[in-house]
Amino acid sequence: MKSGTHPNYFSDVKITCACGNIIVTGSTKKELKTELCSACHPFFTGKQRLVDTAGRVEKFRARAKATEEKASVAKSKKKKTEDEE
């Protein structure tokens, strides 16, 4: 094998989760940070929780609300034209 082709391996790396949980494992990076771990992920905890990255849930809800409003306006216009006839 050629020397110097493999990355350095660290056997005591700390993985820090956003919930505060710390996991010690091995990796080629000295320190890792994550948003979810087995202590806070809904699959493992059984609790439903919205995981929002960069406001995606709010953007979706805003689009859905705008679509509903457009549909209700169109429906009221259609009803108004039918009543006039």
Q: Is the pLDDT of residue 16 over 90?
A: yes
Q: Which fold has domain 1-49?
A: Rhinovirus 14, subunit 4 (4.10.80)
Q: Which residues pair with 23 in a beta bridge?
A: 15
Helices (H) and strands (E) in the chain, counts: 2, 3
**pTM, entire model:** 0.46
Q: pLDDT tens, 31-75?
A: 999 888 878 877 767 776 666 666 777 888 899 999 998 888 887
First CA to last CA distance, the chain = 86
DSSP labels, 31-69:
EEEES--TTT-HHHH-------STTHHHHHHHHHHHHHH
Banded pLDDT at 27 (limits 50, 70, 90): very high
The structural domains of the chain, with segments of one domain joined by +, span 1-49, 52-85
For residue 13, CA distances in Å to 9, 20, 25, 36 come to: 9, 15, 5, 17
